[in-house]
Amino acid sequence: MSSTAATSSKGSHLSRIWVIATHTFTQLVRMKVFYFLAVFAVIAIASNFFDLPQHEGPEAVGANVLRSIKSWSLGAMTLFSVVLSVVATALLLPKDAEDRTLYTILAKPVPRFDYLAGKLLGVLLLVFVSLALMDALMTAVLQVRTNMVVAQQEEMAKAMGWPQDAITSLRNETLESGPNASLQGAVFAVFLRASIMASLALLISTFSSSTLFTTIVSFLIYFIGHFQADARNLYLHSGEAGEGVFARLASLLLSLVLPDFQLFNVIDAVIEGQVLPMIAVAKLALVGLYYAVFFTIASWFIFADKEF
């Protein structure tokens, strides 16, 4: 094959995947999935009202409510994104088969890998847009509330006769609890976890018999994935406590196949005010990319020989 033909083939692969992805995105949007944003808006605004009394001076005013907004919002984002990625992916193949769209597409010169990759990309696009909208809402609410807290603290500090340098120091400390790069890194970690779940659900849906089965198994694996580190430790330190061969093999299998979802719990540290370095985000992105690619290729192996 000439290089021009190879480039053309590569280009057509990408364009096919993109067409399927945008179609999938449109298909999912028409299912009115964005209605959950109204629920998220209520959660983000409601989290403003849990400003419990504190015990001391200006530095304590509003300290809890800023964390409460981040905690509630990132919690809701995690929940919505994981549910959305699993349920949306679980729906896709059975729905295409039911609507007979799948047969129409596969009857054309569309490689099965392109079809799967397009479907996955469509779901990821939906999750990304959803998270971006939730992130924008959270950032707006947090920014407004941070400004209010800073104003309250300054007013109280001035009334108590604090010197200007102390007020400035307090202001800077409070602003660190507002929207920042680490918070965006945490939202990206939420997206990565949802991406892995979407690709995992895609893999399960290639051999599952129903949407319900895919959803249930995906969520089970989601929770098991939070114990992957325990399985890994068991394997790496096997022999110390006299585990049997079966336990060793099972822990090895779990460690190799399942992602360690605990890694993405860095969002808790960000809510607690820790700084999330870019390098940590990049390393998490590598983990996300590895599992997304691994599960997609595994889906392709199964889907490639599937008879319809």
Partner 1 sequence: MPYEQALGNSLRDAGLFPPALQITTRDKIGQTSSAVALGGLRTLVATFLNLRAFTYFTEQRWQDVEETFNTIVDLAPHTRYYWETGSWHMAYNAASYYINDSKLPPLRRREAWRMSILKGRVFLERGIRNNPDDWSMLASYGFLLSDSNKYPAFRDKNASFAAAADAYRKADATGKALGYVKRSAFYALARVDGREAEALAEARRLYAQGKINHTPTMKALLFVLQAWENPQMDLLASAIEIFETPENAYEALSAHWERTRDGFPVHGVSKAIVLLEERLAIPKDQSVLNKPLPPPGGPDEWFR
Q: How far apart are CA 228 and CA 232, in angstroms?
A: 6
Q: Please report whether residue 295 would count as binding partner 1 according to CB under 8 A.
A: no
In the complex with partner 1, the residue whose CB is nearer, 77 or 116, is 77
Q: Please report whether residue 239 would count as binding partner 1 according to CB under 8 A.
A: no
Q: Please report whether residue 115 would count as binding partner 1 according to CB under 8 A.
A: no
Nearest alpha-carbon partner for 183 in 145, 139, 124, 140: 139
Half-sphere exposure of 34 (CA within 13 A, CB side): 15
Q: Please report whether residue 111 would count as binding partner 1 according to CB under 8 A.
A: no
Q: How far is the CB of 88 from partner 1 (least distance, A)?
A: 19
Q: Please report whether residue 255 would count as binding partner 1 according to CB under 8 A.
A: yes
In the complex with partner 1, the residue whose CB is nearer, 17 or 292, is 292
Tell me which of 264, 295, 300, 303 binds partner 1, using CB under 8 A. Answer: 264
Task: List the interface residues with partner 1, window 19-78 (CB under 8 A).
Answer: 50, 52, 54-56, 59-60, 63-64, 67-68, 71-72, 74-75, 78
Residue type at 3? S
Tell me which of 46, 129, 268, 304 binds partner 1, using CB under 8 A. Answer: 268
Tell me which of 274, 278, 304, 306 binds partner 1, using CB under 8 A. Answer: 274
Task: List the interface residues with partner 1, window 140-169 (CB under 8 A).
Answer: 162-163, 165-166, 169
In the complex with partner 1, the residue whose CB is nearer, 27 or 182, is 182
Number of residues that bind partner 1 (CB under 8 A): 57
Burial class for 285, CB neighbours closer than 10 Å (0-12, 13-18, 19+): middle
Residue type at 228? Q
Q: 3-state class of 62 per DSSP?
A: coil
Residues 6+ apart with CB under 8 A from 94: 205, 210, 211
Token readout for 112 is 């099965």
Token readout for 260 is 């360690």
Asked if residue 300 lies in contact with residue 116, where contact means CB atoms within 8 angstroms, the answer is yes
Binding string, residues 197-226; x marks residues near partner 1 by CB under 8 A: -------------------------xx--x
Q: How far is the CB of 25 from partner 1 (least distance, A)?
A: 26
Residue type at 117? A
Q: Please report whether residue 276 would count as binding partner 1 according to CB under 8 A.
A: yes
Q: How far apart are CA 192 and CA 264, in angstroms?
A: 8
Nearest alpha-carbon partner for 43 in 68, 26, 13: 68
Q: Please report whether residue 286 would count as binding partner 1 according to CB under 8 A.
A: yes
Q: 3-state class of 293 per DSSP?
A: helix
**Region from 130-138, 237-245, 283-291, 300-308 binding partner 1, contact rule CB under 8 A:** 283-291
54: left (phi over 0), alpha (psi -120 to 50) or beta: beta
Residues that bind partner 1 (CB under 8 A): 50, 52, 54-56, 59-60, 63-64, 67-68, 71-72, 74-75, 78-79, 162-163, 165-166, 169-170, 173, 193, 222-223, 226-229, 232, 236, 255-256, 259-269, 271-274, 276-277, 280, 283-284, 286-287
